[in-house]
Amino acid sequence: MIKVLLADDHKIVREGLRRIIEESGEMEVVAEAADGNEAIHKTLKFRPDVAVVDISMPPGIDGLEVVSRLKFQIPSMPVLILTMHDEEQYVVRAIEAGAMGYVTKQAAPEQLVDAVKKLYSGGRYLTEKASEALASRIVRGDSSKSGAESLSMRELQVLRKLALGQTNHEIADSYHISVKTVDTYRSRILKKLNLRNNAELSRFAIQSKLIEL
């Protein structure tokens, strides 16, 4: 049996995913997590064969940070991103962080099962739309980056948390950095995006589908 960890902040989503995975007859869910920190803790404790992680898990660290930390602590363990986001920047960031697969929640249940199997066997899995997004970025190269694409991964993470109304102190605690560092990231974000304040930043995040409301 393939041992799977599920990390998503919505209990009803985890229950649905558990059913899909366990009805395959080839997998079992050995642990569930409702936020990023819990995902890391339970992954280290239960050592699943594959971790299925959502990108958006407020209020703590997000899925991209989970991927980065797990790849550092357990390099051989594959992580599958399962998310509502199909925007290009998220696909690219997830792969850059170390994810071995990317599936959206709009995908058919059998795609999730196929993705877990593929990662377990040492391969990668991207839905067709995710593959197209990644190919588009490769073709364009870095020179055409604009908007959210111009942000570093940490800047994107800070932007999302600011847009969700988190304070600099809360963000600093999530990423174990200083409040001053968060403020520096905020200044860089505003400058890169040509925005003036947090209100405009939130509006940009909503329009760019960087946060779910």
Residues 66 and 77: beta-carbon distance below 8 Å = no
Strand pairing partners for 2? 27
CA 53 from centre of chain: 7
Residues of the chain with pLDDT > 70, as a percent, come to 95
Among the listed residues 144, 140, 120, 123, the one whose alpha carbon sits nearest the alpha carbon of residue 132: 140
Residue matched to tokens 């059913």: 19
Position with higher pLDDT, 51 vs 174: 51
Alpha helices in 74-178 (DSSP H): 88-97, 109-120, 128-140, 153-163, 168-175
Average pLDDT of the chain is 90
The tokens for 56 are 């958006």
Measured distance CA(80)–CA(61) in Å, rounded: 17
Residues 6+ apart with CB under 8 A from 150: 192, 193
Angle at 51 between CA 86 and CA 65, to 5 degrees: 65
108, with CB counted inside 10 A (0-12, 13-18, 19+), is exposed
pLDDT of amino acid 43: 97
| pLDDT band, very low/low/confident/very high, at 100 (cuts 50, 70, 90) | very high
Sign of the alpha-carbon torsion through 173, 176, 181, 186: negative
Domains detected in the chain: 2-140 (3.40.50.2300), 145-207 (1.10.10.10)
Please give the structure tokens belonging to residue 173.
């605690």
Give the angle subtended at the CA of 47 by the CAs of 46 and 51, to the nearest 5°.
105
CA 64 to chain centre: 4
pLDDT tens-digit profile of 152-211?
888 988 998 999 889 999 999 988 899 999 999 999 999 999 999 999 999 998 888 787
- pLDDT surpasses 60 at 143: no
Q: What is the mean pLDDT of residues 125-131?
A: 87
- Whole-angstrom distance, CA of residue 66 vs CA of residue 79: 9
pTM value is 0.79
pLDDT of residue 65: 92
